[in-house]
Amino acid sequence: MQSPAPSDAPIIEIKDVTKIYGSDVRAVDNVSLTVDRGEFFALLGPSGCGKTTLLRMLAGFETPTDGTVTIDGDNMADVQANKRPVNMVFQSYAVFPHMTVAQNVGYGLKIDGVARKEISARVEEALELVKLGGLGARMPDELSGGQRQRVALARALIKRPSVLLLDEPLSALDAKLREAMQLELVRLQKTVGITFVIVTHDQAEALSMADRIAVMEAGVVRQVASPAELYEHPTSRFVGDFIGQINLFNGNASPAGEGKVNVSAAPLSDQVLDGNVTGSVCLAVRPEKVSVSRDKPADNNLLSIQGTVADIAYYGGYSNLYVEVGAATPILAEITNAERGVGSGYAQGDTVWVSWRSEDTLLFAE
Amino acid sequence: MDNWRKSAGAFWASFLPPTVWLVAFFLAPLSLIWMFSFGVKSGITDIDITWTFQQYARALEPLYLEIFAKSLWMAAVTTFICLIIGFPVAIAIVFAPPKARMWLLLLVILPFWTNLLIRTYALIAVLRTRGHVNFTLEWAWENANGLLTFIGLGSFNLLGDKFEPLALLYNNTAVVVGLVYVALPFMVLPLYAALDRLDRTFIEASLDLGAGHIRTFWSVVVPLALPGIASGIVITFIPTLGSFLTPDLLGGTDSQMIANVIERQFKSANDWPFGAALSFLLMYVTFFGLALRALLTRREGIGDRT
Confidence of residue A342 (pLDDT cuts 50, 70, 90): low
Residue type, B281: L
Q: Which residue in A98, A108, A139 is closest to B209 by CB distance? A: A108
Closest CA to A331 of A289, A295, A364: A289
Radius of gyration of chain A (CA): 25
Best of B198, B200, B201, B208 to disrupt the A interface (most A CBs within 10 Å) is B208
**What is residue B219's predicted lDDT score, i.e. its pLDDT?**
94
> What residues does CATH 2.40.50.100 cover in chain A?
245-365
Q: Which chain B residue's Cα is nearest to A111?
A: B211
pLDDT digits (tens, 9 = 90+) for A218-273: 999 999 999 999 999 999 999 999 998 999 988 888 888 788 888 888 788 788 88
**What is residue B3's predicted lDDT score, i.e. its pLDDT?**
65
pLDDT digits (tens, 9 = 90+) for A61-107: 999 999 999 999 899 999 999 999 999 999 999 999 999 999 999 99
Spatial contact of B265 and B272, defined as CB atoms under 8 Å apart: yes
Closest CA to B86 of B199, B195, B208, B211: B195
Q: Which residue in B205, B210, B302 is closest to A94 by CB distance? A: B205
Cβ contact (<8 Å) for B223 and A98? yes
pLDDT exceeds cutoff 50 at A2: no
The sheet carrying A260-265 orders its strands as: A268-274, A260-265, A247-255, A279-285, A362-365
pLDDT exceeds cutoff 90 at B134: no
The DSSP output letter for B11 is H
pLDDT exceeds cutoff 80 at B224: yes
Residue type, A321: L
pLDDT digits (tens, 9 = 90+) for A284-330: 999 999 988 888 888 777 888 889 999 888 888 888 999 998 888 89
ipTM for the whole complex: 0.83
Q: For residue B14, what is the enclosing H or E element?
A: helix B8-22
Task: Provide the CATH number for the domain formed by B54-128+168-305 in this structure.
Answer: 1.10.3720.10
Q: Which chain B residue's Cα is nearest to A96?
A: B202
Cβ neighbours of A366 (radius 10 Å): 13
User: A297: cis peptide before it, omega within 30°?
Assistant: no
> What residues does CATH 3.40.50.300 cover in chain A?
12-238
**What are the φ/ψ torsions at residue A210 (nearest 5 degrees)?**
-85, 150
Radius of gyration of chain B (CA): 25
pLDDT digits (tens, 9 = 90+) for A104-158: 999 999 999 999 999 999 999 999 988 898 899 999 999 988 899 999 999 999 9
Nearest-CA distance A139 → chain B (Å): 10
Q: CB distance from A81 to chain B under 8 Å?
A: yes
Q: Which residue in B199, B215, B306 is closest to A111 by CB distance? A: B215
**What is residue A317's predicted lDDT score, i.e. its pLDDT?**
86
Per CATH, is A245-365 categorized as 3.30.70.980? no
Spatial contact of A289 and A355, defined as CB atoms under 8 Å apart: no
Cβ neighbours of B249 (radius 10 Å): 18
Cα–Cα distance measured from residue B189 to residue B228, given in angstroms and rounded to the nearest whole number: 9
Cβ contact (<8 Å) for B210 and A90? no
pLDDT digits (tens, 9 = 90+) for B143-153: 888 888 888 77
Cα–Cα distance measured from residue B305 to residue B7, given in angstroms and rounded to the nearest whole number: 35
Q: Which chain A residues are Cβ-neighbours of B301 within 8 angstroms?
A: none
Cβ contact (<8 Å) for B302 and A90? no
Spatial contact of A46 and A92, defined as CB atoms under 8 Å apart: no
Selected from 3.40.50.1980, 2.130.10.10, 3.40.50.300, 3.50.30.50, the CATH number assigned to the domain covering A12-238 reads 3.40.50.300
**What is residue B4's predicted lDDT score, i.e. its pLDDT?**
66
Residue extents of the structural domains in chain B: 54-128+168-305
Q: Which residue in B207, B210, B302 is closest to A112 by CB distance? A: B210
A164, with CB counted inside 10 A (0-12, 13-18, 19+), is buried
Cα–Cα distance measured from residue A39 to residue A47, given in angstroms and rounded to the nearest whole number: 24
What number of helices (H) and strands (E) belong to chain A?
8, 20
Contacts of A306 (CB under 8 A, 6+ apart): A296, A325, A351, A352, A353
Cβ contact (<8 Å) for B210 and A108? yes
**What is residue B288's predicted lDDT score, i.e. its pLDDT?**
86
Q: A32 by DSSP, 3-state: which?
A: strand
Spatial contact of A43 and A199, defined as CB atoms under 8 Å apart: yes
Cβ contact (<8 Å) for A82 and B204? no
Cβ contact (<8 Å) for A81 and B204? yes
The sheet carrying A12-21 orders its strands as: A25-35, A12-21, A66-71, A74-75
pLDDT exceeds cutoff 90 at A197: yes
Contacts of B7 (CB under 8 A, 6+ apart): none
Contacts of A129 (CB under 8 A, 6+ apart): A154, A157, A188, A191, A192
Q: CB distance from A362 to chain B under 8 Å?
A: no
